[in-house]
Structure 1
Amino acid sequence: MSRGKLLHSHSKHSDGGGAINYPRGYEVLAELGFAGRRRSVFTRLAALSGAGPRHQILDVGCGTGYLTRMLAPLVGPEGGVTGVDPSLPMIEHARRRSPDNCSYQVGEGQALPFPDASFDIVVSSFAVHHMPVSARGTAMREIFRVLRPGGRLLIAEFRPPVNPLAARLVGILAGPAMRPTMPELLADLVPGAGLRIESTGTVGPVLYYVNAVRPLETRS
Structure 2
Amino acid sequence: MRDHCHSKTHHGETTRGHVIHWAPLYEGVFGRLLRRTHGAVVDLAASSTGERVLDVGCGTGSLAVALKGAVGPTGSVLGIDASPEMIDVARRNASKAGVAVDFQVGLGEAIPLANGTFDLVVSQLAIHHFPDDLKPSAFGEMYRLLKPGGRCLIVDFEPPKSVLGRLVAWIVLGRVMMRINVADYRTLLENAGFTRVETGQTGHRLLSYIRGHVAK
Q: Mark yes or no: TM-score above 0.5.
A: yes
**What's the CA shift string for 1:46-99, capped at 9, x where partnerless?**
111011211100000101111101111111111111001100000010011114
* Contact 2:67–2:77 under 8 Å retained in 1: yes
How high is the sequence identity, in percent, across the aligned residues?
Answer: 35
User: In the alignment, which of 83, 99, 102 is matched to residue 79 of structure 2?
Assistant: 83
Question: What corresponds to 1:92 in structure 2?
Answer: 88
Which residue among 50, 64, 69 is the counterpart of 1:73? 69
Q: CA deviation at 1:114?
A: 1.0
Aligned to 1:195: 194
List alignment gaps of at least 5 residues for structure 1.
Answer: none
Could you tell me which amino acid in structure 1 is paired with residue 118 of structure 2?
F
In 2, distance between residues paired with 1:28 and 1:41? 16
Aligned to 1:186: 185
CA contact (8 A) 2:189 2:197 kept: no
Aligned CA RMSD, in angstroms, stands at 2.4
Three-state SS of the structure 1 residue aligned to 2:63 is helix
Match of 1:54 among 50, 53, 75: 50
Closer, same or farther in 2 for the Cα pair 1:178/1:135, shift >3 Å?
farther
CA distance in 2, matches of 1:31, 1:96: 13
Provide closer, same or farther for how the CA distance between residues 2 and 144 of structure 1 changes in structure 2, counting only shifts above 3 A. Answer: closer
Tell me, yes or no, if the aligned pair for 1:16 and 1:177 is still in contact at 8 Å: no
Unmatched 5+ residue regions in structure 2?
none
- SS, match of residue 18 in structure 2: coil
SS in 1 for 2:119: strand
3-state SS of 2:135 partner: helix
- Name the amino acid aligned to 1:86: A
**Contact map agreement 1:72 1:102 (CA 8 A) in 2:** yes
Q: Structure 1 residues 120 and 167 mapped into 2: Cα distance closer, same or farther (>3 Å)?
A: same
1:133 counterpart SS class: coil
Partner of 2:59: 63
Q: How many residue pairs align between the two structures? A: 204
Q: 1:9 aligns with which of 7, 10, 22?
A: 7
CA distance in 1 between counterparts of 2:184 and 2:16 reads 15
Q: 1:60 to 1:73 in 2, by over 3 A?
A: same
2:213 maps to what in 1? 213
Q: Distance in 1 between matches of 2:193 and 2:129?
A: 22
- The SS at the match of 2:152 is strand
Say if 1:17 and 1:133, in contact at 8 Å, map to a contact too.
no
Instruction: Verify the 8 A CA contact 2:3 2:173 in the aligned structure 1.
Output: no
